[in-house]
Amino acid sequence: MMTEHQPEQLKLRSIIGFSGTVPQGLLRHPSGSHRIYPLGSNVVLQNLATGEQEFLQGHTNLITCLAVSKSGRYIASGQVTHMGFQADIILWDFATRRAIKHLSLHKVKVEALAFSPNDLYLASLGGEDDNSVIVWDLERGNAICGAPASKDSAGVALCLAYLNNDDLAFVTGGHCNLRVWEVNVAARKVKPTDCQMGTIKRIVKCITVDHQDEFMYCGTTTGDLLQVAVATKLFKNSGPPKEKDNFSLGIISCALNSDGQGILIGAGDGTLAHMSLHGLKVSRRTKLDGKVTSICPVRGTHIMAATSQSNIYAVDVATMDSARVITWHYSPVNDIAFPPDSSEVFATASDTDIRIWGAQSAQEYLRIRLPNLEAKCIIFQKDGRSLITGWTDGKIRAFGPQSGRLQFEIHDAHKKCVTALAVTDIDRRDGTYRIVSGGEDGQVRIWRISRHVQQLENAMKEHKGTVTCIKIRKNNSECVSSSSDGSCIIWDLVRHVRNQVLFAPSFFKAVCYYPEENQLLTSGTDRKVAYWEAYDGSLIREIEASQSDAINGLDITQDGMHFVLGGSDKIIKLYRYEEGDMTHVGVGHSTDILKVKISPDQRSIVSVSSDGAVFQWEWPKPHATTAAGSPTPGAAPHAGAAH
């Protein structure tokens, strides 16, 4: 009888991604050594000299705000959670990379965080359902005081900034409210004073305070910048002077120049501009891809700017010359593929583009963009010379994996969307090969590809729902297709007929052959991984692999000893095939995992999710995945194993 054991943790090697929509989410450590940014529920620390990543993990949901203290000793991150629950703030020690304290008083969401200048206090602002301000004592790790962020529930506060020279004063802004707060530690109270704005009514999205704490500058949704005196709480000026020069789609980020002589503005239309503090006139501007959500001064006239499309730019403010330093996916990654027998690169398919990444460097090597189209599936040709892709316009397109040049295009491959692809080996006699494609229309189609011609060989229509996955046998004479109609069909690619069909009360999401090809493995919305006999389609056994969520991604090792899966429970799980027990789990994704792939050299697992994140996990050491006295490697389970 098998003894129960606790699964070990998979080690995270690298993360490709950045939550670009988090306001002021890109930070630079005061020492200049690290770039700090959120991805899903993780805080990523990236060494700027070596590119090496470290991860602060502890949040249970998406990170919504991030702050680093002036000394660099502390990092604070806040999250969103489900309605009715408290949202955590985690205080991290930068030196040890450990969580010091979990601070939980805000409901549903933490909107903004700010450290006092001498690292004594942390001010936090709750989201719309909470709308309260709380001041925390960093030494003791408890709340000193709190108060509603505005006079009424309609005036929700959206942003927060501490003064630069006073540990007992900070400012907040939001829907028609702008307040200066004074903290009385002895009385454990915080007192707000509303700024006198006259007839001006604005929604303030971001605030920065000048180095002398004389003025605060507030970016608004109407695209103008307000200058307000901190001491007198009186409105002084707004800019740009002419209303027609206001920033389109509002000002959503702002930061003072390092010399304190100007202010940088990030707008919703991608404009990054420099404004003089005297007269608030725009002196220089440039355009970036996506909303400019973060502005981070680096040194001298150089800054880093991040956008909602998960791009990071290096900008010289003196000339407004910008260069894209890093770029990541910002929408769901639908598929992932390794070239045959190579683990050095892999390709991902997402909304509007396909990208090829270096596995070791986690850097983008190539990007192929098709505006207004979404890549649904991707696979490499067996000799690695083509990257074959399926798109929402019903076309199959093949690109050169090094040049990105279009090699061929199959029009009307499917009536709607092309959702699954597989390729056969190249025929040595004539150099042709076949693509087997599946579509949203339920058809499985076979295409013969030669150097100049792409010809439809046959179309097989038995599935009633979307074809979700196709795998071809090594002999190229048979394939299996899974569908959302609850069936998997084994097709004869020579006679173009159905050999066998498997049924289950599930939307099948993934299917793969056991290496000996005598068995099949399936997963889907019934939360089970099922083993099937390939010869007669009989069910061998089922494993309850998830408590409540669908299993979207499934892959098996080349030796057949292990398989890995991921799904809507956001956890990567590594199983032994013969024993059917889970040996390792990988925790880090904060949205649904859509696909998982084991690298051909079996040294890493790559998983992709609906927030655009690409995670690389280290394959565990051999002793960790094989228990003493375990069955012979590669042995398949008996047909009589318990269901």
Using CA atoms of 352, 356, 357, 358 in order, give the dihedral in degrees to the nearest 10: -170
pLDDT of residue 81: 94
Chain position carrying tokens 């997402």:
350
Backbone angles phi, psi at 187, to 5 degrees: -85, -5
The tens digit of pLDDT for each residue in 455-493 reads: 999 999 999 999 999 999 999 999 999 999 999 999 999
Which DSSP string corresponds to 387-424?
A: EEEEETTS-EEEE-TTT--EEEEETTSSSS-EEEEEEP
> In which order are the strands placed within the sheet that holds 454-461?
418-423, 433-439, 443-449, 454-461
Backbone angles phi, psi at 624, to 5 degrees: -80, -25
The closest of 573, 588, 452, 459 to 523, measured between CA atoms, is 573
pLDDT of residue 642: 36
Rounded distance between C-alpha atoms, residue 74 and residue 79, angstroms: 17
Q: What share of the chain is helix, strand, coil (3-state, %, to 5)?
A: 0, 55, 45
Classify 38 as helix, strand or coil.
strand
Pairing of strands 582-587, 8-9: parallel
* Number of other CB atoms surrounding residue 278 within 10 Å: 10
Q: Which ranges in the chain are annotated with CATH 2.130.10.10? A: 1-16+527-637, 332-464
pLDDT of residue 640: 36
Rounded distance between C-alpha atoms, residue 135 and residue 189, angstroms: 9
Query: Please, which residues bridge with residue 220 across strands?
Result: 204
What stretches of 138-213 adopt beta strand conformation (E)? 142-148, 157-162, 169-174, 177-184, 189-194, 204-209
Q: Identify the DSSP state of 245.
A: G
CATH assignment, 1-16+527-637? 2.130.10.10
Rounded distance between C-alpha atoms, residue 95 and residue 39, angstroms: 21
Rounded distance between C-alpha atoms, residue 492 and residue 500, angstroms: 9
Distance of CA 175 to the CA centre of its chain: 30
Q: Are 70 and 30 in contact (CB under 8 A)?
A: yes
pLDDT of residue 638: 40
Classify 381 as helix, strand or coil.
coil
Classify 622 as helix, strand or coil.
helix
Instruction: Give the Å distances, CA to CA, from 585 to 193, 254, 524, 560, 566.
Output: 50, 41, 19, 19, 10
pLDDT of residue 4: 55
pLDDT of residue 624: 54
Backbone angles phi, psi at 592, to 5 degrees: -55, 130
Instruction: Give the Å distances, CA to CA, from 331 to 256, 396, 574.
Output: 31, 21, 26
pLDDT of residue 625: 54
pLDDT of residue 245: 86
Sequence-distant (6+) residues with CB within 8 A of 629 are none
* Number of other CB atoms surrounding residue 412 within 10 Å: 10
Model confidence, pTM: 0.88
- Fold (topology level) of 332-464: Methylamine Dehydrogenase; Chain H (2.130.10)
- Regions of the chain with pLDDT less than 50: 1-3, 627-643
Rounded distance between C-alpha atoms, residue 442 and residue 468, angstroms: 9
Q: Count of residues for the chain?
A: 643
Q: Are 311 and 324 in contact (CB under 8 A)?
A: yes
Distance of CA 245 to the CA centre of its chain: 35
Rounded distance between C-alpha atoms, residue 65 and residue 87, angstroms: 12
